[in-house]
Amino acid sequence: MVEAVVIMGGLGLLVGAGLAVAAKVFYVYVDPLILQIDDVLPGANCGGCGYPGCSANAEAIVAGKSGPNSCVAAGSEVAEAIAAILGVSVEAKEPDIARPGCYYGVQDADLKYAYDGLTDCRAAALLHGGMKVCTIGCLGLGTCARACPFDAISMGPDNLPVVDAVKCTGCGTCERVCPKHIITLSSVTRRILREYTTDECTTPCQRACPAGIDIREYIRLIGRGEEIRALLVIKERNPFPAVIGRICPRPCENECRRQLADEPVAINFLKRYAADTERERGKRVIPYKAPATGRKIAVVGGGVEGLSTAFFAARLGHETTVYEATDRLGGLLRSAVAAERLPADTLDWDIDGILAMGVKTDTGKALGRDMTVSDLLAQGADAVFLAGGGWDSRLARGGRQEQPVPGVGLLIDFMKAVEKQENGPAVGAAAVIAGGGKLAVEAARKCRRLGAAKVIVALREFDADVGIEEIDPRPLVQEGIEVRYSTGIGRLTGRDGSLQELELVDLESNARQRVAAETLLLAAGRFPELIFMRTEAIDAVEGAAPEEATPPEAEKVEAEGGPVSWTALAPYKKPADKDEQGLFAPGDVMTDYSAAIRAIAAGRRGAASVHQLLYGIALSYPERVLTEESHIQTVDQVERVGPAPRKIMPTCSPREAGCREIEKGFTPQMARAEADRCLQCGLICYERTEQKSPEKEKEVA
């Protein structure tokens, strides 16, 4: 007995010693922060966060790959507790809902071959992309429905996923398992920020619309008699539906696939019909807004672009104020469009709709005259967006010289001022002239005579393309003038009312250099669209925080009431020009927008850019972003589409009394008949006209 006890005790000591050694050898350090967060998480291990269990999600949160509010099984109190552990703040988040992006099921689509393999979309996609002719179409095998951990997705009778918005938690599981990106998370915020990609089922008309309106959907709703829902679809990308329904140049109709059979659908007239229906009801439709973020944005310019920027910023949850130099909002729409085409009360109706979103206005206030960028930032604005318009907008304001950006002026104003004044305008010790060719060299010499110690002429063109090759550069260098070719202007940096430096971008290598500059002269006919933020705020969040998390508030290094350092950046460019660098690059607007719908698109990009900068999201495009040069599937002919004449817009006779507009608008019967002409297109799919056999026609007769 004693021997057994001794033996067992010895074995225990031996095992204990072995375990002690193993613990030292195989010790794995676990971050206490991960343990704290893991303790707060509910332990549901549902996978809705995108990670295999709560412990994995806790590691992802600490690593910055997942947000404090990523747990879909917990409430807001858990997100707040995690945020407190991390030392960050969590704002109210608009819920994400899964949204299918395909319109025709397998039984309605043209098939390449009959599929008899595994009933999994991912397996079917591996076989030549799937059995559908459309390479990105839904395969309809229900993988997303089986993968949903909350039973929020079912397959409808057309073999397309149907989402139960009540059950859906926005976990993204369906999005991750779909091999063709057919079902994705969606929200107002996501749809405002998004740029279309070649992975999406976009229609020809939508691709041609500068604003990217979901034309197919709003026409479908009009055809069903749901004009108000149709208007909400329009307002997702266009805050001026009644205005644009009257004055749009209608590039969408040029690409309408219906014209392959007869005539394009009257897309724009249907937009006007939906907008006029709202006004006739006398009850305004207020689009959904994201929860308030507590962030303030100042928009300078009350024209189409400025008001559109304010509208989309308000929908993103930001508190927005528009500052307009004149006493009325509307910009060129107020002064440059005949009343017979655009009555003033119609313009006012759309503007009032923007203000109903909570947008504040302050008219009679010009930037550079009544307040400065630093004033607005010092008064609490987190960002200032400049949308002052171009040359025509300036003429509408009286044509006076303006300087909304400290130290920045237009080259034409500078040359005129030099001619009128003996001493000329004030020029800093370091000046940069952007563009202008030979005139820029002449202006550089004038800057030198006015006291500039050094002048840089930055030209986007190569030296052989500028037209100043006959100028010998050696005397210019001796005069303190440097000419740089293939060079653009990047960000600007200043303090209070002074410009201090700017960024020169080598357009060939993309190398960037900061140079001192107290004066910047622009050869373009307008001031650029710029986003101003406190310099320390840009430095604190630029490239530092993931999209899912809210970055900590930037520390304000200036004393209360002290000087304000600011940095100005341009919003991201339209997709067709995504690779261009610097201000006034090819594709950028040099004077005024050629159409209001393009100014609206610029306003949405401006609001999206501000939002991304506020949250530390890089201003970049998604992979495979859709541009005019993208190669996508399409068709050049339609089959089995019976003829249906386009409805003609009723016009007002000159003899008819009480006519305010030339065009009267569609009646409900005309609108629904015209909506029925829409082929409800996808990439290569469209609705075919049902063909009746001779026997069926006899039965009907």
**pLDDT attached to residue 562:** 73
**pLDDT attached to residue 312:** 97
Identify whether the C-beta of residue 305 lies closer than 8 Å to the C-beta of residue 606.
yes
Using CA atoms, how far apart are residues 376 and 358, in angstroms rounded to an integer? 19
Query: Which of these ranges, 36-40, 580-584, 617-621, has the smallest mean pLDDT?
Result: 36-40
Condensed to tens digits (0 to 9), the pLDDT of residues 272-324 reads: 999 999 999 988 989 999 999 999 999 999 999 999 999 999 999 999 999 99
Condensed to tens digits (0 to 9), the pLDDT of residues 414-463 reads: 998 888 876 667 898 999 999 988 889 899 999 999 999 999 999 998 76
The H-or-E segment that residue 16 falls in is: helix 2-25
**CB atoms near residue 195 (< 10 Å):** 16
Query: Which of these ranges, 48-62, 137-151, 631-645, has the smallest mean pLDDT?
Result: 48-62
**pLDDT attached to residue 471:** 57
Taking alpha carbons only, the member of 359, 244, 276 closest to residue 312 is 359
Condensed to tens digits (0 to 9), the pLDDT of residues 475-515 reads: 777 788 998 999 999 999 999 999 999 999 999 999 999 99
Burial 488-525 (b: 16+ CB within 10 A, else e): bbbbbbbebeebbbbbbbbbeeeeeeeebbbbbbbbbb
Using CA atoms, how far apart are residues 317 and 310, in angstroms rounded to an integer? 11
Give one DSSP letter per residue of 483-544, joined into a string: EESSEEEEEEEEETTEEEEEEEEETTT--EEEEE-SEEEE-SSSPPPEEEEEHHHHHHHTTT
pLDDT-based confidence at residue 216 (cuts at 50, 70, 90): very high
691 vs 411 pLDDT, higher one: 411
The H-or-E segment that residue 324 falls in is: strand 319-324
**pLDDT attached to residue 693:** 43
Q: How far is CA 621 from the centre of its chain?
A: 10
The proportion of the chain whose per-residue pLDDT surpasses 70, expressed as a percent, equals: 86
Is residue 437 left, alpha or beta, with left meaning phi > 0 and alpha meaning psi from -120 to 50?
left
Residue 617 has pLDDT above 60, yes or no: yes
**pLDDT attached to residue 467:** 60
Residue 49 has pLDDT above 90, yes or no: no
Range with the largest mean pLDDT of 77-86, 245-254, 582-591:
245-254
Condensed to tens digits (0 to 9), the pLDDT of residues 465-476 reads: 666 555 556 677
pLDDT-based confidence at residue 606 (cuts at 50, 70, 90): very high
In angstroms, the Cα distances linking 445 to 409, 454, 480, 486 are 17, 10, 9, 21
Mean per-residue pLDDT of the chain: 86
Mean pLDDT of the region 530-544: 77
Mean pLDDT of the region 196-215: 94
**pLDDT attached to residue 549:** 35
Residue 169 has pLDDT above 70, yes or no: yes
Is residue 467 left, alpha or beta, with left meaning phi > 0 and alpha meaning psi from -120 to 50?
left
Condensed to tens digits (0 to 9), the pLDDT of residues 315-351 reads: 999 999 999 999 999 999 998 899 999 999 999 999 9
**pLDDT attached to residue 546:** 37
**pLDDT attached to residue 696:** 41
Range with the largest mean pLDDT of 70-79, 548-557, 644-653:
644-653
**pLDDT attached to residue 83:** 77
